[in-house]
Structure 1
Amino acid sequence: MTARILVVDDLPANVKLLETRLLAEYYDVVSALSGQEALEICHSSNVDIVLLDVMMPGMDGFEVCRRLKADPKTTNIPVVMVTALDRPEDRVRGLEAGADDFLTKPVNDLQLISRVKSLARLKNLSDELFLRASTAREADIEALLMSRADDAKARAKLLIVDEDLKVASRLEGLLSKDNQIDIVTQPPAALISVVEGGYDCVIISTGLSGYDPLRLCSQMRAIERTRLLPIILIAEHGETGLVARGLDLGVNDYLMRPLDRNELLARVRTQVKRKRYNDLLRRSLSQTIEMAVTDGLTGLHNRRYLDSHMSMLFTRSVSRERPLSVLMTDIDHFKRINDTYGHDAGDDVLRDFAGRLHRNIRGIDLACRYGGEEFIVVLPDTDAHMAAVVAERIRETVASTPFLICNGTASVDVTISIGLASLQLRDDSVEKLFKRADVALYEAKKNGRNRVVGAVA
């Protein structure tokens, strides 16, 4: 997976060194010699990862990182601090500014490429979710991004996997103030716990004597429900190769023992924040898809959904030689209701009718608002006789009870007309089926309304 990487350092020699290493791995590399220039590049072009020097004149790396993370347009760009500072408090300061990781100068090639691969993969995922969610919700997307601040304050649910209960308990002590902690000492049991536990992050010790920790990580990445769950490795010094391999498999972050509590907390917060952001995008995407196929007033499916779904239902019925019926329904004298009581009252009637309609059909039936006061119900595995029974039941439930309008202060009698058509196994089509139902509906209205009329074959 390629990526566009911005290298930021006030020393051209340092820029050239990182640029050469990244170009050798076929990454697209751009550079900036100051913090202000870096901000301008991030705002004016697509950047996937920022490798950011800390010690720069004018605006230092911490301030650049804070500004990138505070802006909705750049908040999702992973930032890796590249610095000679190696004190835990310096790393914590960077993580609190929003940095995703640290690389210490001189930069190890294996750590550099592994970290870039891991962050590029996460950035690609977030970009895809963001693009899909924002396509239909451009007006709400900035509010969506900024809402992550409140979400990030909630306690996280963490799972610690370590065979040594004493070590795991010490780790729990470091994390328990701000998080809910579970401990598992048996790696096979950990996989079950992860799938069922609803965790925000999993922390795995590399010191599993009878089990390969990377095997557990790869198993988590192979299961749909845990594919995107953040994983942090706790490794020993000298396990650089194992960590690099873990990052390549999809591990999100790592720490080396001995652990610094503040750095541990900061790294966990970073992973939880990114997970919740992606979860937010997925929920937004689901809502967007639902909105695209749902009528906002009645909650029934809309005509777009009907148009895309009807052909599948029709084809299935024809291929299996099973019956299929369509009810085309129109609310009688609906314009009179709007003219007399107002459009809000008309909306009350439409919502109430949709509820009555939904309660009188099966789960496999498809009810849609076709447009205005017209509704269509598709009845799979239902012949003309049974469809007429259903249609009459719907007509009766509408006519028998007045509709409450104007916040319940008034009521109005409502009737409906229904045209019914059923599938003909010879030379039929969706268009012909709908046309027959439409003609039958016209006959019902012409003959006095408040009735069900079946199509003539």
Structure 2
Amino acid sequence: MTGRILVVDDVATNRIVMKVKLAAACYAVEQADCGHAALAAARSNAPDLILLDVVMPEMSGLEVCRRLKADPETADIPVILITALADHASKMAGLEAGADDFLTKPVDEVTLLARVRSLLRARDTARELRQRGETAPGFAEAAAGFAARERPGRIALIASGPKGAVLWKTALDDRVAGEVSILPRDAALGGFAVEDPEVPDVFVIAADLSHRNEGLRLLSDLRSRPATRHAATVMILPDGDAERAAIALDLGAHDILYDPFDAAELAIRIRAQLGRKRQADRLRASVRLELEMAVTDSLTGLHNRRKGLFELERMLARNSDGLAVMLLDIDHFKQVNDSLGHATGDRVLHMVARRLRGKLDDDALLARIGGEEFLVALPGCNQATALARAEELRQAIAMQPFGLGGATKPLDITLSVGIALSQPGSAETAQSLLDRADAALYGAKALGRDQVTLSTVSAT
């Protein structure tokens, strides 16, 4: 089964007909015959989607929808309202209640199934992001910070001609709290880079631009490009064009509307899509935070041991001009911790990391791989260059005492450095390079510390 759908209708025949249609598409169908039963089923079984009749005794579908959206346990379940009421006021009331769509009986089966597929895809994506994001330490703090930085939404209108676009913009300007702009098709395709803050949050696109189906092709292009992949899209189709509406939803449109449309309805749909887009952006940000924290040393901000060794393997695999691998260890660091406390030791580690980073180029690898031990890898180094760069790093630490402020006098800190060189064309592994650099490091310590020592052992 590809999803569990709760069908809510007080008429048994209507429930059976809907179940047959959905079961034929391999959906698991549950049923409820009233609003109270629907609320109970939603809380206990957490369906993936709810098809909800509007006109029911005791509690209307509109009230059920409002209660579902007000409950944190059920707020994210997509809801499609289905009713025989064809008036515009009923449709607007349903959308205002939080429904994802409002379909009128008799329901077109093609449109229904396309809408179900679209909403289930969106729910699956949100669920996956949430599951990943909620495991990130500091998730709540990150989400709050993200919300505080949110800017007004950007809505881009791509109509079939300048006149139509101006009419759309005029109709929306006072109804949408955001920046509404008219965007040519070519600018939508080629005007944005990844992470560009000017990328629209919502595209409103006519299905037919200068040619028939050009808007649908644009939709497909936008969904395939990294810069615009996560933007929401609302497709505007000719009245009654259910077949292309289904195509638009399957191509990735988040919502559809038929022309001529009511501006208030389009505004409601845009606001809903903008809210979902922002929620998805927050979840993606939390996932990125989780990934960064998994590979970052929290004290120094450098790569941690896992990430450092992984990057070393990558550098070794792609570098054909030789690689210098250095292990750097702070001399007598235990004495700093024992005499001044671990908080001071942590400050020293942070300051050492900052000085090292300031002496290295962007293509260099720098990681903290142990308590007071750092890994540096430099591509394209011969022996003379490696020794000179290691000496620069040693002097960057030794030549200037570390001022800690307060009553603590500046500390003299030194490094011992061991170097291993990977020769061009060598089949040596990252681990063997590290072993040789580690042996050279012990040699530097044996010579009295504050030394740079080069491994003289040839790789086998």
TM-score using structure 1 length: 0.89
Residue in 2 aligned with 1:361?
Answer: 360
Give 1:392 deviation, angstroms. 0.8
Residue in 2 aligned with 1:404?
Answer: 403
- The one-letter amino acid paired with 1:414 is I
Runs of 4+ in 1 over 6 A off after TM superposition: 143-152
Q: What does the per-residue CA deviation read over 1:76-119, in whole Å, with 9 as the maximum and x for residues that have no partner?
A: 33221222333333333332332211112222212211211221
RMSD: 2.8
324 and 36 in structure 1: CA distance in 2 versus 1, 3 angstrom threshold = farther
- Greater Cα shift, 75-84 or 294-303: 75-84
Residue in 2 aligned with 1:210?
Answer: 211
- The one-letter amino acid paired with 1:199 is P
In structure 2, distance between residues paired with 1:277 and 1:23: 31
In structure 2, distance between residues paired with 1:261 and 1:125: 29
Q: Check whether the contact 1:205–1:234 (CA below 8 A) recurs between aligned residues.
A: yes
TM-score using structure 2 length: 0.88
Q: Check whether the contact 2:136–2:286 (CA below 8 A) recurs between aligned residues.
A: no
41 and 296 in structure 1: CA distance in 2 versus 1, 3 angstrom threshold = farther
In structure 2, distance between residues paired with 1:70 and 1:393: 62
Residue in 1 aligned with 2:454?
Answer: 454
406 and 60 in structure 1: CA distance in 2 versus 1, 3 angstrom threshold = farther
In structure 2, distance between residues paired with 1:120 and 1:146: 27
44 and 437 in structure 1: CA distance in 2 versus 1, 3 angstrom threshold = farther
- The one-letter amino acid paired with 2:361 is R
Q: Check whether the contact 1:49–1:77 (CA below 8 A) recurs between aligned residues.
A: yes
Alignment of 1:39-188 (within 5 A): 39-45=39-45, 47-137=47-137, 140=139, 154-177=151-174, 178-184=177-183, 187-188=185-186
75 and 149 in structure 1: CA distance in 2 versus 1, 3 angstrom threshold = farther
Residue in 2 aligned with 1:6?
Answer: 6
In structure 1, distance between residues paired with 2:368 and 2:6: 50
Q: Check whether the contact 1:151–1:276 (CA below 8 A) recurs between aligned residues.
A: no
In structure 1, distance between residues paired with 2:377 and 2:81: 59
- The one-letter amino acid paired with 1:205 is A
428 and 252 in structure 1: CA distance in 2 versus 1, 3 angstrom threshold = closer
Q: Which stretches in structure 1 are left out of the alignment for 5+ residues?
A: none
In structure 2, distance between residues paired with 1:189 and 1:373: 51
In structure 2, distance between residues paired with 1:98 and 1:329: 59
Q: What does the per-residue CA deviation read over 1:47-88, in whole Å, with 9 as the maximum and x for residues that have no partner?
A: 322212233445543344344434555443322122233333
150 and 438 in structure 1: CA distance in 2 versus 1, 3 angstrom threshold = closer
Q: Check whether the contact 1:158–1:202 (CA below 8 A) recurs between aligned residues.
A: yes
- Greater Cα shift, 332-341 or 71-80: 71-80
80 and 354 in structure 1: CA distance in 2 versus 1, 3 angstrom threshold = same
Q: Check whether the contact 1:332–1:414 (CA below 8 A) recurs between aligned residues.
A: yes
Q: Is 1:264 matched up with 2:266? A: yes
Q: Which stretches in structure 2 are left out of the alignment for 5+ residues?
A: none
Residue in 2 aligned with 1:379?
Answer: 378
Residue in 2 aligned with 1:391?
Answer: 390
User: Is the partner of 2:357 in helix, strand or coil?
Assistant: helix
In structure 2, distance between residues paired with 1:412 and 1:39: 66
User: Is the partner of 2:134 in helix, strand or coil?
Assistant: helix
Match of 1:308 among 310, 320, 323: 310
- The one-letter amino acid paired with 1:285 is V
Q: Share of identical aligned residues, percent?
A: 40
In structure 2, distance between residues paired with 1:407 and 1:4: 64
Q: Is 1:286 matched up with 2:288? A: yes
User: Is the partner of 1:417 in helix, strand or coil?
Assistant: strand
